[in-house]
Structure 1
């Protein structure tokens, strides 16, 4: 009989990559993790790890064990959901990760709904971009992730997750007041070819989408500023230092403070959705969070949060 705790350590190593990362995540010493995995090798009767440079990697037999561990953990998570569903009051903690504009515009009203409906439920929220949060969902650092997806740039999906749409959020070209910006979407983009741009960091889905958009319009943007903080994007445009691509959630019902132009059809909105583990999707706390976020998104959309045009 395999020890479940040791199996979980092996699974963590697969997802986190190093013994040091596993130890840091679980508040163990690397030597303790190594000792536990050595004991698991004895239980399995086969080699589970092999050295690669200064690190280790899983053997084919270890990968088999991890696959079965995933199935066991999913079943245990379903059991936890069933027990929670049998209780009359929703309690415990649900851990949510959300990217910046969702954390500003969707999470606070959702928290208000949850506080009113389930006062004993503790909701923990971390602001984090989907590229980092989605792997954290798989390693059980989070129970629910609010994610975004740009046209033609789907995020890598961990295995064993379920998605649910919240809304489509329009994205617009934002230019400083007085800057040339024709009404036609492609012409408006081309008019910014010689101006400084602020974009999200290289390697992000948003950056890849933005670069593809500009190149399709026939130019390479002069990216002088890089940050994942869209409020900094906005400030740079307001002060006339840069051009940006801003989603409507940035305004959160407020009047725009910069000139906005529509983007070409098919490239003018990002998809916002929630992601949960398949085994945990039936947990009452996760379902309650999803309902609250759907309500927040519906209320925001009904209020006409998007700027005109």
Structure 2
């Protein structure tokens, strides 16, 4: 089951998607969602059926309230959590519902913030600037839910989302493990490599790396790797033309230099997006690592 969520980050309303394991009874999923709906500044906006197991149909917010009434939060199961940080900006790289469903099907709660300025959220996406707070805020309110296993709160950052995920891991003790999948590690390198993105980055960030070096370093996990103390998994295809493999290789080296021992899953001959069979295998291998 997937729930569309509205929450407050700083003074902005941010959208996100909360996915729960499809094998849970619908009434139990709605009860868990209702606890989130009861938190200050968090609202469940609508309920979507999970397509993997097709467990139900849309239900109204009022029906969630009825399910929750009279039930104790102590009776809810504890679930590990993955916060999935999307890539791209705007419509490019929007939250992949299939990913939310695939992760939830592993028995995990999943939350995917859209970031400010995207998919109906207020504000302006700064490609790793103030929008980093949207992940930090999500971490805080999700950790307050009685059914989240606080020992297993994980982050996954895909492509540009690696910037947001790595920043949160570096600044929050709540994070247990982090996956950086096809992730940007040095945004100045991205500026040099991706001529097609230069205009967007100059507009969003305010200038070039030469003019604003600190703004680009802020958005580069390579430069705060020493603050990431949890286990790290690096996933990357070796022929990725959108985010060069060198981003991950440099991040692996930097993490090793500061005493972290990252695990790497490098896929020979694969690009930024994996074909379905390899994608399914990579997801399973990733969750084997999370569950170890």
TM-score by length of 1: 0.28
Structure with larger RCO (C-alpha < 8 A, sep 6+): 1
